[in-house]
Structure 1
Amino acid sequence: MSPRGVAIPDLRERLFAAAERVVARDGAASLTSRAVTAEAGCAKGVLHTHFAGLDEFVAELVLDRFARSARQAEALRAKAGRATVAENLQEVIQALMDSLPPAVAGLAMTRPAAASHTRDGLRSGAPAFEAIQHAVTAYLQAEQHIGRVPAGSDAATIALALVGTTHHLLMTGGPGQTTDSAATTRRLLAVLLSG
């Protein structure tokens, strides 16, 4: 446990990672501020020192993981011309699926205050699915430019279908469904990229 009054480096990430471990190990119902701080090896009240409460904490965790996925998606355009288009897109979609345990995403949807805080964050411009969709569109357009995606393909619609499906899978999936989700997105990519 960290000594009282001593700054903890990367505290937010430490708490977020602890919350994910608690949910993965004990289920969403076990997520309490005390469980998070105990898992993180911090003083009991540290979560409430940095967040207004557990609902704000859950929302900030979700927004943080979506923002991380959006940053990964931004790197997609630089992959134009490398690997296959489907492999590059599958990598980004898998990173998004892995970014947030479905049980945590479910908490953000089922706890009204957490859902409200998450919506407020998204409305105020926190990067999430829309940013990922724009990154996928830009990537597909770059691939069109070099001839690896047919010129007549509607890049924006393909991106919307892919990101929308991923959102659905992430928000409705449960533990252990990663394999099914990967297979679903591979089939979707085959259809979307077939020209």
Structure 2
Amino acid sequence: MSPRGVAIPDLRERLFAAAERVVARDGAAGLTSRSVTAEADCGKGVLHAHFAGLDEFVAELVLDRFARGARQAEALDAKVGQATAAANLQEVVLALLDALPPAVVGLSLTRPAAALRTREGFQAGAPAFDAIQHAFVAYLQAEQRGGRIAADADVATIALALVGTMHHLLMTRVPGLSEEPEATVRRLLAVLLGGAGQPPTA
């Protein structure tokens, strides 16, 4: 445990990661300021020293994870022309599902005040699903220009379908009980791209 008065490096991320572990292990009901600080191995008052309360903390956690997801989607720019479009999109979609754990996304739904703060953050311009969708469109357009996706492909609708599927998986997936997201995403991309952007068959 950090001594009293000693700064803790990357405190926000340390608390956020601790909260994710608590929720994964104990569910939303197990999330308290004390459970988070105990999991993060820091002083009991640290969370309230940096956040107005647990609702603000939860909202900031959700907003942070969406921002991280948007950054991962934007990283598709570096994949243009590499591997296959389907493989690149699948890799990023699965990474986004990991970056936005369903239990964390659902946290704000269990706390009305946190939900309000999260909504206010999105309304103020914090990245959300729309930013991820825009990143998908930009990537697909770049692959279109390179001739790896058909010129007449409706890339805006493809991106919308991918984001809609992500949202569905985040809200409904039950680890161990639902189909693995990799299989779902692979089948969806096969339909959306219709062979374009798919690896050649032997």
The TM-score range, normalised by the shorter chain, is over 0.9
Helix, strand or coil at the partner of 1:184: helix
Tell me the equivalent position of 2:102. Answer: 102
Aligned AA (1:150): A
Tell me the equivalent position of 2:59. Answer: 59
Aligned length: 195
With over 3 angstroms needed to count, the CA separation of the structure-2 counterparts of 1:14 and 1:66, relative to structure 1, is same
Tell me the equivalent position of 1:162. Answer: 162
Tell me the equivalent position of 1:4. Answer: 4
Tell me the equivalent position of 1:91. Answer: 91
Check if 1:22 corresponds to 2:22.
yes
Residue pairs, 1:22-41, within 5 angstroms: 22-41=22-41
Contact residue 102 and residue 175 of structure 1 kept, 8 A: no
Tell me the equivalent position of 1:180. Answer: 180
Q: Which consecutive aligned stretches of 4+ in structure 1 deviate over 4 angstroms post-superposition?
A: none
Tell me the equivalent position of 1:79. Answer: 79
Tell me the equivalent position of 1:43. Answer: 43
With over 3 angstroms needed to count, the CA separation of the structure-2 counterparts of 1:179 and 1:4, relative to structure 1, is farther
RMSD: 1.4
Check if 1:116 corresponds to 2:123.
no
Segments of structure 1 that go 5 or more residues without pairing to the other structure are: none
Segments of structure 2 that go 5 or more residues without pairing to the other structure are: 197-202
* Alpha-carbon distance, 1:108 to partner: 1.2
* Alpha-carbon distance, 1:177 to partner: 5.8
* Alpha-carbon distance, 1:178 to partner: 7.5
| The 10-residue stretch of structure 1 (81-90 or 174-183) with the greater mean CA deviation from structure 2 | 174-183
* Alpha-carbon distance, 1:103 to partner: 1.4
What do residues 114-148 of structure 1 show as CA deviations (whole Å, max 9, x unaligned)?
Answer: 11111111111111211111111000001001111
With over 3 angstroms needed to count, the CA separation of the structure-2 counterparts of 1:177 and 1:76, relative to structure 1, is farther
Alpha-carbon distance in structure 2 between the residues aligned to 1:18 and 1:138: 34
* Alpha-carbon distance, 1:187 to partner: 1.1
Q: TM-score scaled to structure 2, two decimals?
A: 0.92
Tell me the equivalent position of 2:192. Answer: 192
Q: Percent identity?
A: 76
Alpha-carbon distance in structure 2 between the residues aligned to 1:143 and 1:3: 52
What do residues 3-44 of structure 1 show as CA deviations (whole Å, max 9, x unaligned)?
Answer: 111111100000001011111222221111100000101111
With over 3 angstroms needed to count, the CA separation of the structure-2 counterparts of 1:127 and 1:8, relative to structure 1, is same
| The 10-residue stretch of structure 1 (23-32 or 136-145) with the greater mean CA deviation from structure 2 | 23-32
Contact residue 133 and residue 159 of structure 1 kept, 8 A: yes
With over 3 angstroms needed to count, the CA separation of the structure-2 counterparts of 1:79 and 1:151, relative to structure 1, is same
